[in-house]
Amino acid sequence: MTSTFLSRRALVGAALAATLLTVAAPPAAMAATPSPASSTLPPLDTAALRAAISDLDHPQATAAQLLVSGEAGRWYGTAGVADRRTGAPVRQDDTFRAGSITKVFVATAVLQLSAEGRVDLDKPVQHYLPGLLPDGYAPIKVSQLLNHSSGLPDEHIPDSQRTDTPEQILEHRYDQWTPLQLVAALPEDAPMKFTPGTKQDYRGMNYVLAALLLEKVTGKPYAKVIGDRILRPLGLCHTSFPGNDPKLRGPHVHGYLAMSDGTLQDATEYNQSEAWGEGEIISTTRDLDRFITALFTPGTVLPRATLDKMFELPPPEVKMVDGSPARYSLGLQTVTVNGVPLWGKTGERYGYNSAVMATRDLQRSAVYSWTPTHRDASQGQMVLRIADAVTKPAASR
């Protein structure tokens, strides 16, 4: 097997970071620092919501769907087709790859174990996974994995393993990885990027380690832990972890990649083991809406005191490595759009871009999934339109 995991992982991070920067930067109505609570939200502007997802040319995409719910209104809409070959429309129970939304499920399971006294968030991950990380690494608290302040050095990326074109990406769609192979990409002799807890640096590797911790503490595969603790109790029957199965089973939305000559290739079939523990989940808009509603309701998934930790950012002196304000808590990310503070998580896989976000009081939640064909900063156009339509009062448009 030719190893391409590391370079593809870097591409995913770069594209997602560009999208986040587009959302959290200008216009001035957006800021990365959330308000303590959301204000009363206006009625939904359904015309604006439909317009936000209907432009599949800017950026190029083949499908989009958006589910908005909460005490201030509910709306669901779609655009495009689930399958370019058949022309089948997008349906609400069609599954899609939800990428890094996986991390919210992993963090929730870790926090459940914390509430039960089985995991100490202030203990180093090295305590739970002895010998896994190089001896020279500083102690990393479990909480520092969950809020991306671990300081882990970047994985080593040999030039021979880089995949810089969509053609190269699809050549390796069936590569298979184990969690230990992923962790082995961390360099043995590199210094920590920063002292753990002093900065934030969004890294999938943090959640590979968190999922391994789940397995070590419970003695079960992490996907089964989440299935037993979250999926089945909440009735999330369309949410799954594919493991080494590259296919999307049952009705689903296809994802496509634009090749170097502009033609589109179906990228739906893809082994997600490279995203083990941090980006492999498959779900639907309806399931993700049900999940975030239950998660944000104290006592349903987490006890109130534990849930409160998911809405706590690090101290103000802790910033992202680029100097911007910290935006990650224990399992969630936050952004304020048009004065409305939203909490949740974005996700991206090849051919897919998604998010589940909500106000803490659940006056408004939004789940979107769309299928961009180019993996670049242009994805921010769609994200920005959706965020604006979900939060801006109709009278000010």
User: Which residue has tokens 């069609």?
Assistant: 94
Closest CA to 49 of 78, 89, 20, 29: 78
Q: Which two tokens stand for residue 305?
A: 């005191």
At 32, the amino acid letter reads: A
> Known catalytic residue: 273?
no
Count of positions (residues) in the chain: 397
Give the residue ranges of DSSP H helices in 25-70.
46-54
Burial 325-348 (b: 16+ CB within 10 A, else e): bbbbbbbbbbbbbbebbbbbbbbb
Hey, which bits of the chain come out as E strands? 30-31, 61-69, 75-83, 88-89, 96-99, 199-200, 256-258, 264-266, 281-283, 319-320, 333-337, 340-349, 352-358, 365-372
- Report residue 365: phi and psi, to 5°: -130, 155
Specify whether the CB–CB gap between 280 and 247 falls below 8 A.
no
* Strands 199-200 and 319-320, bridge-based pairing: parallel
Q: Which two tokens stand for residue 162?
A: 């880089």
Give the residue ranges of DSSP H helices in 296-391.
304-309, 379-391
Q: Which two tokens stand for residue 46?
A: 């359904």
Query: Of these residues, 7, 69, 100, 149, which one is catalytic?
Result: 100
> What is the rounded distance in angstroms from the CA atom of residue 308 to the CA atom of residue 303?
9
At 169, the amino acid letter reads: I
Cis bond upstream, residue 27 (ω within 30):
yes
- Report residue 368: phi and psi, to 5°: -130, 155
Q: Which two tokens stand for residue 298?
A: 């104290």
Which residues are part of the catalytic machinery? Answer: 100
